[in-house]
C-alpha cells in the first residue's frame, strides 16, 4: 500500500448538505479495491487516479489528533463517503481503529458506511464512543443474493455475511442498519429482492434501512459501468443506453412501485426508513446541549 501526502483529514459539512446529520467528513484512505461496478467515487470530479489501488494518507493519525484537539465544536464524524474505511489493508494497518480511538479520546461521535464485516472488530471502541456521543453504522446491502453480490461487488464479503455483521453489531448494543443503495435498474429492482432484503434485515435485528432505487453515472464511471455490463450483463448495456443516455441520475422505472412496497414492509416490521427518523433514533439519547444536529 502506498502512502500519499495529506494536509488535513477533517472537512466540515455545510448546514445544507449534512448526510445523516454528520458535522464532519473524514477519509483516511484514497481509492478502494472492493471492485463494485457502480461506485460513483470513480468519477473524474473526485480526482482519484488508479481508483482500484488503495492508498493511505501519510501521517493521517497525527493530523487527525491535531485537528480533533483544536475543534471547539464537537459533533459526529462521517467515514466511508469516498472510500471504504474497512478495506483489506485495514486488517493489517488498523488506521481506522486508531482513528476511532482518537475520536473517542476527544469526545466525538461517528457515522460509518462500509461493505465489510471487519467493522465488527471495533465493537469495543463503538461501545466506548456511544457512552458520550452518537454512533451510526451503515452496512451497504443492495441484493439478498450472494451470487449476484459477488458479481457486482467482486471483492466484498457476500451479503449474507453483512447481514450477520448487522446482527452482531446490534446484539452488542450498537445502532447499525442498512444502506440499500444503489439498487441497479434491471438487475436488482425486483419485488423479490427488495422484500427479501427487508425481511432478512428484520431477522438480523437491523435498526434502520435507508434506500435509493437507482444508480448515478457520470464521466469515466459510466464508461467503467458499461464495460462491466458488457462482461457480466451483456444484454443490459444497450438497454441502459436507450433508457438513460448520458443522464447522471438513473432512477429505476419501477422506483415508485418499489418504494411503496418497501415502505409497507418496513412499517410491518417497525423499521425506520426515512432520514429524519433515523437521525432522531440514533441521536435522541444525547442532549442537545452537547451536540447540535438538526
User: What pLDDT, in 10s, does the model give residues 259-284?
Assistant: 999 999 999 999 999 999 999 999 99
What number of CA atoms fall less than 13 Å from residue 12's CA on the CB side?
10
Give the pLDDT band of residue 15 (cuts 50, 70, 90): low
What confidence score (pLDDT) does residue 57 get? 84
Read off the pLDDT of residues 229-254 as tens digits, 9 standing for 90 and up. 999 999 999 999 999 999 999 999 99
291 neighbors 285 (Cβ within 8 angstroms):
no
Residue 108 Cα to chain centre, angstroms: 19
> What is the distance between the alpha carbons of residues 38 and 184, in angstroms, rounded to a whole number?
8
Compute the distance between CA of residue 204 and CA of residue 166 in angstroms, rounded to an integer.
Answer: 7
State the sign of the Cα–Cα–Cα–Cα dihedral 64, 70, 74, 75.
negative
- Helices and strands (H and E) in the chain: how many: 11, 12
Which DSSP helix (H) or strand (E) runs through 159? helix 159-171
- CA atoms of 136 and 85, how far apart (whole Å): 14
**Residue 184 per-residue DSSP state:** -
Give the model's pLDDT for residue 228. 95
Q: What is the pLDDT of residues 153-182, one digit of tens each?
A: 999 999 999 999 999 999 999 999 999 999
Predicted structure pTM score: 0.93
The secondary structure of residue 286, as a DSSP letter, is: S
C-alpha cell at 73: 465544536
Q: Where are the beta strands (DSSP E) in the chain?
A: 2-4, 10-12, 24-26, 29-30, 55-57, 76-79, 109-114, 135-140, 176-180, 209-211, 214-216, 249-251
Note the Cα 33 to chain centre separation in Å: 15
Q: Which are the contacts of 147, defined by CB distance < 8 A and separation ≥ 6?
A: none
Q: How far is 221 from 228, CA to CA, in rounded Å?
A: 11
Quick one: what percent of the chain has pLDDT higher than 70? 96
Question: pLDDT tens-digit profile of 85-104?
Answer: 999 999 999 999 999 999 99
Position 289 pLDDT exceeds 50: no
How far apart are alpha carbons 62 and 42 in whole angstroms?
A: 28
Closest CA to 139 of 204, 48, 77, 55: 204
Averaged pLDDT of the chain: 93
* Residue whose C-alpha cell reads 433514533 in the numeric block: 281
pLDDT band at 287 (very low <50, low <70, confident <90, very high): low
The cell for 205 is 435485528
**How much of the chain, in percent, has pLDDT values that exceed 90?**
79
Split at pLDDT 50, 70, 90, the class of 17 is low
| pLDDT of 250 | 97
Amino acid at each position: 500500500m502506498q502512502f500519499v501526502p495529506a494536509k488535513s483529514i477533517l472537512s466540515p459539512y455545510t448546514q445544507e448538505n449534512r448526510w445523516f446529520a454528520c458535522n464532519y467528513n473524514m477519509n483516511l484512505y484514497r481509492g478502494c479495491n472492493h471492485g463494485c461496478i457502480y461506485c460513483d467515487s470513480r468519477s473524474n470530479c473526485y480526482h482519484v487516479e488508479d481508483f482500484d489501488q488503495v492508498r493511505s494518507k501519510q501521517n493521517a493519525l497525527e493530523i487527525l489528533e491535531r485537528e480533533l484537539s483544536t475543534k471547539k465544536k464537537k459533533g459526529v464524524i462521517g467515514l466511508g463517503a469516498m472510500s471504504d474505511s474497512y478495506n483489506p489493508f485495514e486488517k493489517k494497518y488498523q488506521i481506522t481503529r486508531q482513528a476511532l480511538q482518537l475520536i473517542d479520546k476527544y469526545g466525538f461521535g461517528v457515522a460509518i458506511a462500509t461493505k465489510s464485516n471487519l467493522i465488527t472488530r471495533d465493537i469495543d471502541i463503538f461501545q466506548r464512543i456511544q457512552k458520550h456521543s452518537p454512533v451510526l453504522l451503515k452496512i451497504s446491502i443492495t441484493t439478498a443474493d450472494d451470487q449476484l453480490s459477488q458479481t457486482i461487488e467482486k471483492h466484498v464479503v457476500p451479503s449474507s455475511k453483512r447481514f450477520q455483521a448487522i446482527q452482531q453489531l446490534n446484539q452488542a448494543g450498537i445502532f447499525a442498519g442498512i444502506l440499500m443503495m444503489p439498487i441497479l435498474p434491471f438487475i436488482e429492482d425486483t419485488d423479490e429482492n427488495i422484500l427479501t432484503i427487508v425481511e432478512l434485515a428484520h431477522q438480523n435485528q437491523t435498526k434502520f434501512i435507508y434506500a435509493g432505487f437507482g444508480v448515478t453515472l457520470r464521466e469515466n464511471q459510466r464508461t467503467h459501468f458499461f464495460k462491466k455490463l458488457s462482461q457480466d450483463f451483456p444484454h443490459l448495456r444497450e438497454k441502459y443506453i436507450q433508457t438513460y443516455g448520458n443522464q447522471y441520475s438513473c432512477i429505476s422505472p419501477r422506483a415508485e412501485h418499489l418504494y411503496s412496497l418497501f415502505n409497507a414492509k418496513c412499517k410491518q416490521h417497525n423499521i425506520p426508513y426515512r432520514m429524519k427518523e433515523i437521525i432522531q433514533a440514533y441521536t435522541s439519547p444525547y442532549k442537545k446541549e452537547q451536540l447540535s444536529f438538526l
